[in-house]
Amino acid sequence: MSENSVQLTSNKDILYGLGNCRPVSDFKKVSRIGEGTYGYVYKAINRETNEVVALKRIILHNERQDGFPLTSLREVKTLNACRNHPNIVRLHEVVVGSQRDAVFLLFEYCEHDLSTVLKAFKNPFKESEVKCLVLQLLSAVEHIHNNWIVHRDIKLSNLLYNSKGQLKLADFGLARTLSYPPPAALTPTVVTLWYRAPEVLLGSS
């Protein structure tokens, strides 16, 4: 088992108290809207309510036989700790399929991420809108820091944007919960290179 996985014996361990899992068959996948190191993201529709949601399928690497990714467990834990903030993407629940590796995180759906928007349009936002987006991002960061959480992967593709003009901080797979006194040295290379702080690039632990 890899160092980034943990041994689990039941879905209850995976869910950190979210309760019993609904089957993923309750949702109809429409299209794949994203893909990353730690999972695929699909646009889906709740068959019962017709609500549009996002399904993130967790990728099992070396954990296929005997574990579950630690990054996904951290994501569930940190998102639950910050679930009531309007500028942090909301995790609704965990849903599962019939196979052991069919585990999905069910999120609220956002139409865009800022990386895609800025690539598609030369000047997509007015100055006042940029200020509003920055304030929303700072509000989200303040909230997670007040909860002793560091995101460690803030970048344009992890900033979602919905039709109401709301910014949502997403992808907490690399997030860590800190404490005082601080824990042992953290891994210095997890943050996307271009977003690493100078002290991290210079070797600070």
- The residue among 135, 93, 137 whose CA lies nearest residue 113 is 137
**Residue 181, preceding peptide bond in cis (omega within 30° of 0):** yes
Pick the catalytic residue from 66, 113, 153, 171. 153
The two three-digit tokens of residue 141, written as one number = 């960061």
- The residue among 116, 113, 103 whose CA lies nearest residue 168 is 113
99 φ, ψ (degrees, to nearest 5): -90, 155
- Is 26 a catalytic site residue? no
Cβ atoms 140, 179 nearer than 8 A: no
Annotated catalytic residues are 153
